[in-house]
Amino acid sequence: MKSLLGKLGVLFIGLLIFGYSDVWGADWRYYGLSTDAVYLYDAQVITRLPNGLIRVWTKVIFNDQGRMNAVVKLGENFKDVESSVGSFELDCKDKRSKVISYIFIKSASENPVQWTGMKDASAESRKKQTRC
């Protein structure tokens, strides 16, 4: 009997996890187009804050014109930018927005990840000691 209950418990947990697997992915939805890029928002993680603001994640996929404009505005390091992802707070009442965080993503083929060493006295080393 215990073995049957254990198997049913494992089955239930597995179904629960796989049944809600789409929660872990983003649900990017189109909301705009410009001469520079396509604009998307993540419909899955829109958060209504207690103070009446709305927090939303956006994604911008740049075209060639958008990359050229990024280089002009931000510098040569942005020539390989493929997209950006940002978190914003929207104040619909006063019709304004605020950037919470924003990152630029380069194409993987032109921006290979490189490992760097951690010196014993460095902040990276202390981070390794606390997390590794």
Tens place of pLDDT per residue across the chain (132 aa): 445 444 444 434 443 344 444 445 789 999 999 999 999 999 998 999 999 899 999 999 999 999 999 999 988 888 888 999 999 999 988 999 999 998 988 876 555 555 566 555 555 555 555 555
- CA atoms within a 13 Å half-sphere pointing along the CA-CB vector of 60: 19
Tell me, yes or no, whether 105 lies in a domain. Answer: yes
Examine residue 6 and state whether it is found in any structural domain, yes or no.
Answer: no
Dihedral over alpha carbons 22, 23, 28, 31 (to 10 degrees):
130
Domain with 77, as residue range(s), is: 26-110
Position 115 in a domain: no
Q: What is the pTM of this model?
A: 0.62
